[in-house]
Amino acid sequence: MKKYNVAILGATGAVGREMMKVLAERDFPINELRLLASERSVGKELEYRGEKIKVQLACDEAFDGMDIVLGAAQNATAKQFAPAIVKAGAVFVDNSSAFRMCDDVPLVVPEINPEDVKLNKGIISNPNCSTIITLTAINAINKISKIQTIVASTYQAVSGAGVGGPAELEAEVDALSKGEKYEPKVFAHQIAYNVIPKIGSESTEGYTTEEMKLQNESRKILHLPELKANCTCVRVPVVRSHSISCTIVTERAVSVEEAKQAIMNGNGVKLVDDLSAERYPMPLETSDQDIVFVGRIRKDLTNERGLAIWCCGDQVRKGAATNAVQIAQLLTK
């Protein structure tokens, strides 16, 4: 079996470390694993399959000899190093939003559009975490009848804001339990015992950048340029796993039974839908694994071609690290 030289750009962050974990779990055929980060992390040692690997400085020369680079860094870093990665002959699987809407960069969810990987010119983008989870949940229904509209609300875990999110939630809960005050640093408001209906920066007509990603990215991934999506993104005091409530309208009416059967046979999804038995997708059950749980499937009472759906998925894994590793696996094939 051929082995590959793989680098992780942003290896010391939460997603970078999760990428290492997923590579090991999936027994990815690695010859050399190169861990790259900023100057302040150089020299740190991270463990991979029982071996300690020193973090190296991310610079143009660091990508020489690499076959695949997994990006777990911010937009600015991705843009800075993308030319050097492509010049080195590697394929850059980037988790940032820097290249997602570029016409010559495939935007891939392996369960949905794996064939788009072949269109890459050196860069492949990982979609937004909520987009990945939502589309993985509804893709099987889209195969039965094309989706025309999506109306969604996301309930996004604090870890989606980085390692500081869970730390702030824990610190606030601790302070409040002692009757003390805590000044938020990561979020604009107290997140403990609260929800914050704004993620991302202001974009257009009152929507945020995070909210517009669902429409823009879904059109590209599903190859449905006329798809319309209306999204409200909400930060909730949950540590890990995003939840999404969405109502979809399809070209023809799809029954609840059809939808359930399609999801049961779908890729990357698990049907968890038994209201009388109190079985439905929840963040606690979907964390630290790669499957998107789907449930609460009902007919939309406002549109005869609509279905209401609830889904949950681990945004650090399937919403980021695992999806990137799956793309890398497609490249090896």
- Does the annotation mark 189 as catalytic? no
What angle separates helix 256-264 from helix 129-144, to the nearest 10 degrees?
120
- Does the annotation mark 223 as catalytic? no
Please enumerate in sequence order all residues whose Cβ is within 8 A of that of 158, keeping only pairs 6 or more positions apart, or say none. 165, 166, 168, 169, 186, 187, 191, 235, 236, 237, 238, 239
The helix (H) or strand (E) run that includes residue 285 is helix 283-286
Q: Which one of the listed residues 129, 231, 233, 246 is annotated catalytic?
A: 129
- Contact assessment for residue 295 and residue 311, using Cβ atoms and an 8 Å cutoff: yes
- Contact assessment for residue 290 and residue 318, using Cβ atoms and an 8 Å cutoff: yes
Q: How far apart are CA 103 and CA 95, in angstroms?
A: 17
Q: How far apart are CA 35 and CA 72, in angstroms?
A: 11
Per the structure block, which two tokens stand in for 111? Answer: 């369960």
Phi, then psi, of 35 in degrees rounded to 5: -100, 120
- Contact assessment for residue 222 and residue 214, using Cβ atoms and an 8 Å cutoff: no
- Contact assessment for residue 263 and residue 140, using Cβ atoms and an 8 Å cutoff: yes
- Give the residue from 13, 25, 147 showing the smallest Cα distance to 35: 13
**Alpha helices (H) in 115-255, listed in sequence order:** 129-144, 164-177, 209-222
Q: How far apart are CA 199 and CA 241, in angstroms?
A: 15
- For residue 122, CA distances in Å to 93, 116, 217, 287 come to 9, 13, 19, 32
The helix (H) or strand (E) run that includes residue 327 is helix 322-332
Q: Which one of the listed residues 189, 223, 231, 242 is annotated catalytic?
A: 242
Active centre residues (catalytic)? 129, 242
